[in-house]
Every structure is written in structure tokens, then in C-alpha cells.
Amino acid sequence: MFAQPLVTSAAVAASVLFILSLGGLSNQESAKRAVWYGIAGMALAVVFTALGPGVSNYGLMLAMVLVGAVIGTVVARRVEMTQMPQLVAALHSFVGLAAVFVGLNAEMERLRVEGLRAAGESLDGLAAFAARLATKTPTEIAFLQVEVVLGVFIGAVTFTGSVVAFGKLAGKLDGKPAQLPGGHLLNAAAALACVVLAVYYLAFGGMLPLIAITVLALFIGYHLIMGIGGADMPVVVSMLNSYSGWAAAAIGFTLSNDLLIVTGALVGSSGAILSYIMCKAMNRAFVSVILGGFGGASGSQMAVEGEMIATTADEAAAALDDADSVVIVPGYGMAVAQAQSAVSELTRRLRAKGKEVRFAIHPVAGRLPGHMNVLLAEAKVPYDIVLEMDEINEDFSDTEVAIVIGSNDIVNPAAQDDPNSPIAGMPVLEVWKAGTVIVCKRGQGTGYSGIENPLFFKDNARMLYGDAKQSINELLTKIG
């Protein structure tokens, strides 16, 4: 068993490693090293916390760690990159549920200590957490109750919200916004009821108000995320990441665990910052997105005129042979088809012919922030030709061929042209300004958000129908 000073030192070291990990993840080249920083920090945190003072039941703890390690290994091996967004959402739900359980258990232990005191029984031999409760002043107990009610509320919202996000990302739930009659008023009424119950709990304590808050918060999390459209799911995932961090911080306060407080604050603040950045990239107010203000029709949308013109691999290859500048726009369809390696090979061959090839990445491409960057890095695409929207958008007018692979909303001109479009005002990649736009798409359906894309009907757009991987591989046979 380690002494408390050593545990505290380990917590500081782990916190530094977590900060280095977050900082490194902002750059593709340093991301792998950053992941190892995070792994080392978590290993340090787990070992020194488990072997710290006041911890017991090592047999049960070891069994749970082994079970969790086995499950985590199996899931990690089975989950494809296309399933990573829903996996992240599912993991957020575990943190939220843990916060609820810790909060309810803390209140049970508090009531137990009060009961023993009222009965005049000895408080000797209590478990570590109950023993700490026995030494707290009334003021400290009041602060503990505030921590408990916040942890339970945030944790419950995070749990059901993450479950719904998982369902929408996995296609098990409809991606369109859906709310019960009353809409936001139901959420507001439930939140107000939680405030009233929290005041009652802080005044009188007891399990019933906490359980009632849990039930209402579970409803809020469910109904809130159900009311958010599929186009906003990347923001929802980062928002739930923030919620899970604050839930973890609340657990840390309840358990008097400094490392958990620091880690939760890091996750909570970084998730909130990422959500803000993504909302800015979508030209949406953060509150509007979170309250379900985006993803559904906002009026009569402009009619789409023209027709989709199909093309063949031979015609697409001829256009690429004649072009000197090419921009590739990857989207979720590329991830689903696992076409990144074929795209990387196409890039290599075109560059070998002396053509300028670059990638344009929208901040919310895919269904998870950084999704496309990870796929391209996995396929060995050079980092220096992968550019963000702001870096490349002005270059489309000088681009001879733009290849759109499985993207829809992020290349939709309706964001600029149609004020009644659900994505009106959202910054998009202006691929339609290129000389020729080749769109790799399975069929003529709409994208994940269900919004029609006028790009596909423009005179300079050509639709290369079929599985993205097969389409690119067929292109490769035409390009030596």
C-alpha cells in the first residue's frame, strides 16, 4: 500500500500526462505519442489509486478490472473505424451511469452514518468512505450533498443522452428530430422539477428526492437528444463528452479523489471547447443546437431543378488525366466503404503524374471530430496535403476536378443559397466552383440528415454511382 503523499505525487504526474495527451491530439503527427501519454497516465492513476490508503476488497477489484479489460479488448478488436462514433457515445454513457451510482451510494452511506449516530452506536470499523463521512462537519456534509445532486443529475442526463446518440449514430434510431407533444416545455418542466427536488434534498436529505431527480434527469437526457437532428450528431458527441467529464469531476469531489476531479475537468472543458468550435464551424449558436434547434425543416425549401447526370469510370479517369489540380473531399461514405486505402493509392498515382492533389476536410465531416483525418492517416496519406476547410475553400475556383467521396451536407450549396434550408448559414466546402465535380455515391438518396443536395443536379456535376471502394478501385484500373 502506498502512503498518501506518494499517491498525491502520482496524481500530479498522471495529470501532467493527461494534459500532454490532450495537447498532442491537436496535431496528426504527434497524436500517436499523445495516445501513449494518456495510456501511461491512466495506468499510473489506476495503480496508485487502487493501492492507496483506505482501499480494500482487492480480490473483487482485480476481478472487475480483468472483466473490464477482456470486454474492452474484445470490443476494440471488433469495432471498425466507421463504428467509432457510436462506441464513443456508448462509453460516455458508462461514465454517466457510474456518476449516478456513486451519488446514490454516497447518500446511502450518509444516511447510514446518521442512523448509527442517532442510535448511539459506535462508528468504529466503518468502510473508508463512511469513516470520512463520520468526521465531516455539517458544512462539509452540505457541500457533499451539493456534489451528489449535481453528479446524479449530470450523470443521468449523460447516460440516456449517450444511449440515444448511440442509437442514432448506429442507425438503430431515426436520425430525424423527434419530440413528445410539448417539446421544449417538457424539458423545462422536468428541469424545474429537478431544481425543486434538489432544494428539498439539500434541506431534508433522503433517497426519494435523489431517485426522483434521477428519473427526471434520465427523461431529460433522452428527450433532449431525441430532439436533435442527425446533422448535429458530431456536436452532440463532443457535448456528451463534456457532460461525462463534469460527471466524473462530480464523482471526484464526492470521493475526495483529486485526480478524478482534475481528469473530469480536463475532459469537461475540452469537450465544451470542441463543441463550441464545431458550432462555430456550422455557424450555429451552441444553445440552439443543444436544445434541438437544428436538423429539421425551418420553412418551404427551394425546389431543386435539373437532373443528376451519371458518369462512368472511363469518363472520370479521362477528366482526371486532363486535370492538373485535383481536390478530394472525403465523407462518411468513404469510411463505410473502407475506401481510404484505394483513395490513398489514387492520390499516389495522380501525384506521380505531376498533378497537384489535395484533400479538403470539413470540421464536421464524418460522424466524429477528426474522423476523416484518422482514416487518411491510417491510409498513409501525407499530412501536408490534408487541409482544413478555411485553408482550401478559396481554391476551388482554380481547381479543375473535385472528387466528392461519400459527402453530402458539407458540400451542399443550399447552405448558402436557401435561407429556409435546415443547414442555412452553415459554412460548406464550395466544391461546385470547381471545373468538374465527380460525386461517388451509392444512389440518388439524401444524406444522413435527409436534406436534398442541389450540387448533384448542377451542370458540372457527374455522379459515379456505386460502392465508393469499388468505384475508386475501378478508377485505378484506368489510371496507370
CB atoms within 10 A of CB 348: 13
CA–CA dist 447, 431 (Å, integer) = 17
Which of 78, 108, 126 is the last residue in one of the domains?
78
Statement to judge: residues 57 and 115 lie in one domain? no
Q: What does the angle CA 418 – CA 430 – CA 291 come to, to the nearest 5 degrees?
A: 50
Q: 422 lies in a domain? A: yes
Q: What does the angle CA 364 – CA 96 – CA 51 come to, to the nearest 5 degrees?
A: 115
- Calculate the CA 119 to chain-centre distance: 49
Q: Which residues contact 403 (CB under 8 A, 6 or more apart)?
A: 326, 327, 328, 329, 437, 438, 440
Statement to judge: residues 380 and 457 lie in one domain? yes
User: Reduced to 3 states, what is the DSSP secondary structure of residue 403?
Assistant: strand
Statement to judge: residues 225 and 97 lie in one domain? yes
Whether the Cβ atoms of residue 137 and residue 197 lie closer than 8 Å to each other: no
Whether the Cβ atoms of residue 158 and residue 244 lie closer than 8 Å to each other: yes
CA–CA dist 271, 266 (Å, integer) = 8
Which of 78, 108, 133 is the last residue in one of the domains?
78
Statement to judge: residues 283 and 329 lie in one domain? no
Please report which helix (H) or strand (E) contains residue 363, including its range: none
Q: Which of 134, 169, 111, 151 is nearest to 246 (CA)?
A: 151
In order along its 480 residues, the chain shows pLDDT tens digits of: 677 788 888 888 999 999 999 888 777 678 888 999 999 999 998 888 888 777 777 888 889 889 988 988 888 788 776 677 788 888 889 999 999 999 999 999 889 888 888 887 777 767 777 777 888 888 888 999 999 999 999 999 999 999 998 888 877 887 777 888 887 889 999 999 999 999 999 999 899 999 999 999 999 999 988 888 766 777 788 888 888 999 989 888 888 888 889 889 988 998 888 888 778 777 777 776 666 554 444 556 677 777 899 999 999 999 999 999 999 999 988 988 889 999 999 999 999 999 999 999 998 887 777 788 888 988 999 989 999 998 999 999 999 999 999 888 889 998 888 888 877 888 899 999 999 999 998 877 666 566 788 999 999 999 999 999 999 999 999 886
Q: Which residues contact 435 (CB under 8 A, 6 or more apart)?
A: 323, 399, 400, 401, 460
Statement to judge: residues 91 and 32 lie in one domain? no
Whether the Cβ atoms of residue 17 and residue 38 lie closer than 8 Å to each other: yes
Please tell me which residue in 409, 418, 459, 467 is annotated as part of the active site. 409
Q: 16 lies in a domain? A: yes
Active-site residue 398, yes or no? no
CA–CA dist 349, 357 (Å, integer) = 10
The residue count for the chain: 480
Q: 198 lies in a domain? A: yes
Please report which helix (H) or strand (E) contains residue 275, including its range: helix 258-281
CA–CA dist 457, 452 (Å, integer) = 10
Task: Output the nine-digit C-alpha cell for 362.
Answer: 470539413
Statement to judge: residues 448 and 406 lie in one domain? yes
Statement to judge: residues 358 and 264 lie in one domain? no
Q: Which residues contact 166 (CB under 8 A, 6 or more apart)?
A: 86, 89, 90, 93, 172
pTM, two decimals, is: 0.79
Q: 308 lies in a domain? A: no
Q: 296 lies in a domain? A: no
Bridge partners (DSSP) of residue 359 are: 328, 386
Statement to judge: residues 91 and 226 lie in one domain? yes
CATH number at residue 317: 3.40.50.1220
Which of 50, 78, 106 is the last residue in one of the domains?
78
Q: 307 lies in a domain? A: no
Measured torsion, CA atoms of residues 271, 273, 278, 283, in degrees rounded to the nearest 10: 140
Q: 334 lies in a domain? A: yes
Residue-range definition of the domain harbouring residue 264: 82-290
CA–CA dist 386, 376 (Å, integer) = 8
Statement to judge: residues 188 and 163 lie in one domain? yes
What's residue 295's pLDDT? 46
| Burial of 217 per CB tally in 10 Å (0-12, 13-18, 19+) | buried
Statement to judge: residues 96 and 109 lie in one domain? yes
Please give the tally of structural domains in the chain.
3
CA–CA dist 176, 225 (Å, integer) = 11
122 to 127, 141, 397: CA distances (angstroms) = 13, 19, 80
Statement to judge: residues 398 and 472 lie in one domain? yes
Statement to judge: residues 98 and 66 lie in one domain? no
Whether the Cβ atoms of residue 296 and residue 176 lie closer than 8 Å to each other: yes
Q: 365 lies in a domain? A: yes
**438 secondary structure, DSSP code:** E
CA–CA dist 180, 78 (Å, integer) = 36
Whether the Cβ atoms of residue 252 and residue 261 lie closer than 8 Å to each other: yes
| Burial of 69 per CB tally in 10 Å (0-12, 13-18, 19+) | exposed
What are the backbone dihedrals phi and psi of residue 454, each rounded to the nearest 5 degrees, phi first? Answer: -60, -20
